[in-house]
Amino acid sequence: MDSTSTLEELIQAASLNNPGLKAAYHQWQGALAQVALAGALPDPRLSYGYFIRQVETRVGPQRQRLGISQMFPGFGKRRLKSTAAGQEALAAQAAFEAKRQTLIFEVKSAWWEYAYLIRAAGIVGENIALLGNVAAVLQSTYRTGNTAYTELIKVQIEQEKLTDRLRDLQEMQRPARARLNAALNRPPQGGLPRPALPAPEEQTTPDSVLHRQLQERNPDLLAANFRIEKAQTSLSLARKSSLPDLTLGMDFIDTGEALNPATAESGKDPVMATVSINIPLWFGKNRAAVDLARAQVQAAGAQHRFRENSLATRLEKVLFETREANRRIVLYRDNLIPRTQQALSVVRSAFQAGEAGFVEMVDLQRSLLEFQLTLARETVTLSQKQAELDLLTGNTPAWESENHE
């Protein structure tokens, strides 16, 4: 990263280096690995027994026993466990995507906030320079007795106020840089390129389309949907807790030679097949498992509705703020600033000709400064709100989607 890096390059760097995104990615990969574990059979059991008192049989004494067994979960349990794990993996994937899109929004928002502070400092600096020129003129006319001392003091006070404001804007750049560097996993005051203000773009997508995209694409809602499905699968699995599990086995018994060597099949080792099932006898425990799973289904559904309502409300708020920023940009850019510049030009010419007072000119200059700062602020706000709309509706541009790993 260098002084010429673009916003796109910063987003790519954040996607590769941000520790929070890496954590979400590895959680997703861990959930994927859990799918294979959930669908696997339990380990087979190997058993060994030694007859301290040997059992005498017709064909000889039984000395030791070796057995192996395998438990098979009740019908459908493995499939349901694997399905639930797969749904959890999908939820983890959606959570990773939500984290990735949130990171993109944070980088954009911090970048444009930094751009505003730099631009605002430039605007204030330009006004300080203009006041310096006015102060020089007043200083000259004061020496000749054509300017009152109070006017000279007023312009110096105005200069000091703007200098203090410039200092504040410059100091505010430090936490702005730290915020952006944190997303990039870099030292707080690491060097960054100097961003320019974004070009304002009007929001043209209909509100109804954005609300539909929120329902269909928002990764937080997708994750909540997958968790509902997982809870429903877990409920089906809990209902199968009353089904027994089947265990199949094979035992081999080591048998010594019979006392009478002439005995038929002397020393023959018996082999025994075994079948066993567990008895789901504790019905209260099984009912409690079903009640727990049912409550989790209700909780997942309620959480989804709560999240859906919160996001829909946030979307409406962002849409309002986007429209307001658009309106104010048009007002200040096309109306207030040009008219104030025109009036200031007339008053400045009159002031230089000695036909207008200093106070009127400074008032207009102060108004122009505030209008320019407001325009810069609203331009950044519009871009930030449009980035938030992309976050809410899952509309991540393609060049960002290619670099999520």
Q: What is the pLDDT of residues 229-267, one digit of tens each?
A: 999 999 999 999 889 999 999 999 988 887 777 677 777
Residue 47 lies inside a defined structural domain of this protein: no
Give domain status of residue 248, yes or no.
no
State the DSSP H helix or E strand holding residue 63, giving kind and residue range, or none if neither.
strand 60-72
Q: Which of 215, 226, 227 is nearest to 394 (CA)?
A: 215
Q: Indicate the SS3 state at residue 46.
A: strand
The token pair at 97 is: 């995507």
Q: What is the pLDDT of residue 145?
A: 63
Dist. CA 136–CA 142, nearest whole Å: 10
371 token code pair = 């209008």
Orientation of helix 358-393 relative to helix 149-183, angle to 10°: 10
**Integer CA distances (angstroms), 336 to 279, 367, 370, 377, 383, in order:** 83, 9, 11, 15, 21
Quickly count: other Cβ atoms within 10 Å of residue 9's Cβ: 13
Task: Tell me whether residue 261 is in a domain.
Answer: no
Give the model's pLDDT for residue 404. 45
Which residues of the chain are modeled with pLDDT < 70? Answer: 1-3, 138, 140-149, 262, 354-357, 397-405
pLDDT at 402: 43
Tell me whether residue 285 is in a domain: yes
Domain range enclosing 287? 7-40+73-243+280-396
Helix/strand/coil for 219: helix
In a domain, 312, yes or no: yes
Instruction: Give the helix/strand (H/E) hosting 255.
Output: strand 246-255
Q: How many domains would you assign to the chain?
A: 1
pLDDT at 246 (0 to 100): 93
Measure Cα distances from 131 to 137, 251, 291, 367 in Å: 10, 100, 75, 14
CB 67 within 8 A of CB 47: yes
User: DSSP of 119-171, one letter per residue?
Assistant: HHHHHHHHHHHHHHHHHHHHHHHHHTT-S-HHHHHHHHHHHHHHHHHHHHHHH
- Tell me the whole-structure pTM to 2 decimals: 0.85
* pLDDT value for 178: 94
- The token duo for 87 is 């749904």
Picking from 108, 318, 96, the residue whose alpha carbon sits closest to that of residue 220 is 96
pLDDT for residue 361? 83
Find out whether 59 and 266 touch, Cβ atoms under 8 Å. yes
Q: ∠25-31-37 over CA atoms, to 5°? A: 145
Asked if the structure places residue 267 within a domain, the reply is no
CATH number of the domain to which 18 belongs? 1.20.1600.10
Inside any domain, residue 270: no
**Is residue 18 domain-resident?**
yes
**Rounded-to-integer distance, Cα 87 and Cα 110, Å:** 34
Residue position matching structure tokens 């696997």: 40
